Structure 1
C-alpha cells in the first residue's frame, strides 16, 4: 500500500502505530481518495469502492475514509473472535431454525461489542475519523460483495447518521461489524446460495452534509424496468424519512434522454402529468390551490438528470443514487447498480452471452466523435493486420495464430458511429509479451482507462488457449526470448523501419491519383496496405517497450522516491531534446515570427478570411511568406485536426485552418514562456537519488525516453501513411462518382472498406451503392444526436437485447452540476490562471486555457497559444500531452465533466501538479470572463 502520510515529512501522531508494518504486524488499511486503486479494490468493500469511483470520476462526494476489511480481520484475530466465528457459522444459517439463526447473530453481536480494541486498531479508527475532519459524520457498512452487479445487499448492513465524537464513531463501527452477521444478512446469503463471509465488512466514515433537500435517483424506472426513464424521489432535509417511509416524498419521472419532467407527485398526494408524455395514464386535474410545493427546482432536476447520465455511463448499467443538495451544491452520497430491474413492455431483459467492455479512452485522440463507415473499417482493418503481424513477430504460429486471428479484426468497435476499444481484446494483445500484470496496468494508464478490471477478469483473458505442462512453459519461454531480443534491438529496428518506410512512401506520395484510372489507384492502395501498413507489426514491440519501461520506472519512483509528485514519472520519461512531434508547434512559431516582422503581411492576414488568405498572399506578391507557408504545408500538411479521419480534408487539401492557427500565434505567446521539465526533473533526482539506485533509475529512464521519442517518430509515419490512403480513397470516390455508382465523390466515405474493394473486385453491384450511402448518411445524422457514454459493457450482440439502452445511450447534451472544482490526472506541473476556451477544434485559443473533450496530433500547433491545457479524455501518454510537457505548459488530463461544467470565458485556475481545476469566476451574460486579463502562469520546482 501507499502510506497516507507519504506526502509529509513527518507522519502525524498515531499513523505509524495504526498503519506501518512493525514488530511482525502487517499494514492496516485506512483508505482515502489518495490510496491505490488496487488497495481500494481489495480492502474497501463495495460501498467504499463506489465512493472512490465516484470521486475520481469528478462527482461532488463528501470527504470519506474507509476502515478496511483487514482491520476487522486483525480485530477478530487479536481477540480470538475469528475462531469463534468459524465455529458459529460452520453450518451456515440455511440449515438452522429461525430461532437458532437469531441466537447466532445475537451471540456474534455481543462478542464484537465486548471484545477489546488493541492500540493499533483504536489508532486506525481514530485516523479514519480525523481524515474526514472529525465533527458530525455518517458511519456506513461496506461489505465486500455489497453494491455489486449481481447482489446489492441493500438494507442488509447497518448505517448510522449524525455520529459525533470518536467514542461514538468507535461504538458505531462495532455495530457495523456486527451487522455483517445479523440474522437478516445471514438469511440473505442463504437464500442466494452464498456462504457466510467471515471477513465481515469494511466501514465508511463520511462527512455529513447539512442537506436542504435529499433523496434517491434511479436511472431506470424501478417499478416498470423502463430504461428510458429517470425517477427522482426527494424530501426536505436529510433522507432518513424517505428511506424509512416515514415521510411522503416528492417524486418526479423524467425522460432519460432529455431530462424533461413527465410526471410529478408532490408529497404522495397530488399528481401532474405533462401533456403527451406517453405514459398511457389518465389523471384527473388537480386544482392549483390544492397542490403542494415541489421540493426540487428545475435547476435541481437538470443537475440530477446530468448526474444520472454520467453515473450510468460511468458504470455501464442503471444506477440507484443517493444524493443531497446543500448550499447550492449537488452531493452524491453513494451509487449502486439496480440489480432487480423488472422487464418493461418493449424493453428487453438483461442480455446474456459474451461480456464485452467498450471504452473510448484515447482512441478518441485518433477518431473523435462520429466517424464515417470508411474511416472505421479502414482503421479496424489496419489494426487487425498490424497486430496479427505483431503476433507473428513474436513467434506465434499454427493453431495459436489462428486463435489470434479470431480477435484481432475486432480490436475496435463501431457503436452508433463512434469508435471504441473492445478492451478485453487489448488485454489479450498485451499478454503476448511477458510481465502481463505490470504491462496491463501501464496499458490502462497509457490509454487513459478510467477503471481497472479485476485481477480475476484479467487473468481469464488469453490471446490463445494456454498450453499446459512443460510444452506450455517452453512456448512461453520461447516467446519471452523472442520478445527480449526485439526489445534489446528496438532502436535499430525503428531506424531500419524508418529508412524502408520513407523509401517506399516516396513512391506513393509523388503521384497524381486523379490522373490514374480508378482500378489502377485501387491496386496501388492494396500495395500501400501490403508494403507499408502490414510491415508495422514488429514495431508494436515499441509499444510493449514503452509499457514495460514506464511501468518499471513507475515502480522505482514509488519505492525509491515516495514523496515525488504524481506527475514526476511522466516528466522523467519525457523524451526531451528535439521531439519530432513538437516540430509543427516550433515551425508554426517560426512562421508567426516571420509574419510579425512584416507589418504589411500581418495586416493582410488579420483582415483576410482564412479561406482567401493563400490567394491574398499570392496576389499581394508576398512570395517569401507564401513560400514559407507552402513549405509548412508540404512538411506538416498531413498533421492536421482529425488527421486520421478519411472524410476530413487535411491542410494540403484545405490550408485555411493553418491561417487560423497562424493568426492566433501572432501575439507571440508560444509555450507560455516556459521551458520543458527535464532540468527540474534532473534537479529533483540530484537531491533525492544517488549511487547505484540513481544508475539503475537512469538506465530505465533512458529506455523509456528513447522509446517514447521513437513512438513519436512512428506516429509521423502513421500520419503520412493515412494521408496517402486518404488521397487514394478520394480519387477512388471521384472515379465511382464518374461511373455513376454513387451520387457524389464524398459518398465514398459512407461505404465500408470491403464495399469499396467489392466495387473493384466484382463483389458488389454498383446499383446497390447509391441507396446504401443515402441510408448511411441518415443513420450518421441520427447517431450524432446521441449522448455517447465513454465506457460501458454489453452482453451478446451489442445492438440487441437492450444493451445500449442500459448503457446510457441517450439524446441531448448533458446538464451542468455546478461543480466549482474538478480533478484529473496531473500531467505537467505549473499553475495558470486565465479564461477558458472550450472548443472541439484547435482554434481561437488566444492565450487562454484550452479546454476540450479530446485532442489529436493536429492540435499540436494550437498549444503555442495556450496558457494551460485541460483534456476531458486521454492519458498522460496522449500525443498532445507528451508535446505539452516538452513545451512546459501546465496540463491536466482525464478531467471528468470538463466540457460540461466549464463554459468559454470562465475564469479558471489550473494546477498541473495537483491535477485540480478551480472555477474562479463564471463568464458574464455576453460570454466574456469577469476578469479576462487575469492571466498568470507559474512554475513550481
Structure 2
C-alpha cells in the first residue's frame, strides 16, 4: 500500500488512488509541461484515518472533528516527510485537496475543499494534509456533492503537496470562453502576487481575451490587493491601492495562450487552468481541469459552420429528454422531413446534450427561410428570433438563395397534397362544422394507431394530421389580423378578443381540474379521502379522461398523470385554498369571455359601415382560434396510448429478468427494447447516469453554433447609460428582488432573490442554490463566484464597483449576465 507517490509516477488512470487534481498534475508532468515538482498523499492514507461510511452517517461538523482529532499514523507521517525532504530542505509548498470526485468532466469542485499556501516545515506539511482531509466534510463540500448526485461514501481524498511558486503575477486561464462558449478564444485573468487573489475573487483582475493569435480584449482591473508569501510560512493580504498598469506584457499573454492550447491539445477538451509567473519570468502551470459548464458540441461531420436551434428549450423543456423520448422524435422528424423536403434522412435533426436541436443553417442562408423562421419564432419564442436575427450579418451564414420560387413551389405542393385551401374555406364558411370535424380526430388517431407498429404510428399519425388542423385555427387568427387592418384598435384590444376562447382543449382540461376540486370540496367523504392522501373516485374519473397529460409531456419517456398524479393533487390542493369567488377559474374564464364579446361590439361600432365584417370575422376568431392547442393535444394523446404499449413491453422485459423495472424501458430505443437476447440493465444504468447528470445542467443555449459559441451570450453592444456595469460572468437575464449580503453566516435569502455581495468564496456556495442571480463587487469572470454561478446556471455579473452600496436590499433589479449590465428600478420592494 503506497501512501505517497510522485507526480512523475502518476497518470490519468489513477483517479481512485490520487484524486482528480493529482491525476491531472501527473498527466501534465508526464506531458513535459511546466508543472512545479510535487507529490501526492494517496487515498490509501485517507482510508487509514477515516471510515467513509461512518463519516457519511454523521454530521459534517462531527466528520471534520473526527479527522482533525485523529492522529496521523507514524507510517503515513514518515512517508509524507520523506517525499517532502526530496523536494528540498524546508522549502515552501502548497498543500491542496485532490478528491476522487474532483476536477471531473461534469463537476469541477472548484474551491470546495481547502488549500494551504506557503507551508514550510515537516510538521506544518503533515498538519496541512490533515486539515485537507477534514475539508472534505465542510458544509459547502457536502452540499456540492449532494447537488451533483455524488455518494459521500464513495468519495475519498488525496492531497497534493507541490513546490510553491513565488509568483510575480498569476491567475487563471480558460482555453475556451466560459461565458460565450467560443472554443477558439483563450480567456485570462491575472493579478500581481499569488493566484489565490484571482481564484477567490478578492481582486478585480486584469482580463484578457486571445482569439487565434490576436489579443481582442483587454479590461484592466484595479488590482487593489496582493497576496504574498511570508518568510517562514503563511501568506499576507496587502492593500497596494489601485493600479492602472497592465500586469502582463503582450508577450506573456501570448505565451500563456500557447501554453493553454498545449494543455487543451493534450486532453482533447477545453481546460480551466491556474498558472504563475515567477520573479525570473518563468511560466508555471499549477493546475488544469475540464471546463464543466460548456454545453457540448454537436457532431459536425462536414466541419463547416452550422447554426443549431434548441427545439427542446423552445418547448419549455430545460431538462434532458429520455432516450425513448428522443427515439420517438426521430421517427416524427423522419416523417416531417420526408413530407416537407422529400428526405427522411435529413441531417437537420440533431441530438446534443440529451436534447433536441435543429440545424437551421440552410434556412438562414435563404432569404425566404430567414424571414419565415424569424417571423415564426417571433410569435413562438421571441428571444430565439432575436438571436437568429443577430446572425444575419455573419458572413458564414450569408444568403445564398434570394429566389422565393423553390419555397413557394414546396408550399403550394404541400397545400394541394393536404387540401389546405379546401379546409380553410370550409372553416370560414361553416366554422361550427369545422370544429366538430377537428374534435373527431382524437378518436380517429387512436383507432388508426392501434393497427400500426409504434414507429409507424409516430410517422403516420403525427405530422400528417397537422395540415388537417392548422388551417382551421389559422383562419381564426387571419380574421383577427384582418380586423386590425380595417378598424383602428388600441394596444391590447385585439388580445382581449382572445380571452376565454371556446374549443380550447387546454382550457377544457383546466376547467375539468377545477370541477374536480369543486366536487371534492363539496363531498365530505371525498374531501376526507383527499386530505388523508387517498384517491377519491372523482380523481380516478378525471385521470380516465386526462391521465395521458403530463408535465414536460412531449417526452414520451416521462410518466403521465395516470402514472403519477402528484402534480394534479398539488394543483387541486391549491384550488381548494381559493376562497375568493372572483378568483375561481370558472369565474375568471366567464369574465374573460364576456369581455371578449363586449370588445367585439366595441370594435364593430367603431368600424361604421364595416361593422358586419368585424362581427363576422371576430366570431370566427372566437370559434376557431382555440383549436391552436389541438394539434399538440393529439400528439400527446397518441403518446399516452403508445406509452402504455411500451410499458407493457417493459413489463415483459422485467419478467424475463432483463430489466429491473418496467419504466427502465424508456431508457432504450425501439430496436433495443425488441431485442431478444442480453441483459439490458447495464445499458440502462449508463444512460440513467448521463441523464441524471444532464438533469443538473442549469443553462441550455437557445441557439448554438458549431464552434461552441452561444450567440445570445456574445456581447453585441454595451449596456445602456445609467446601468451598473461589470464583467459578464454567467450568461442569462434575471429580474428579481435584490438581497445585499455582507456575510453568508446566518444570511436570509428567499428563493429567486438576487444575491448582491462584496465577493464570494466557497463558504457562500449554499446561498447559490436558492439565488436567482448574482452580483459581486469584486472578482473576474473566472473567479470562484463566477465559476459556481455558471455551474448552477444563474446569471451573474462580477466586478461591479460599489455594488453593495448602490444596490439596496428589496430593490427590483435586472442582471444581464451576457452584457455585464445591472439595471436598478426606482423603488424598493418590501422583503422579510
TM-score with structure 2 setting the length: 0.47
TM-score with structure 1 setting the length: 0.42
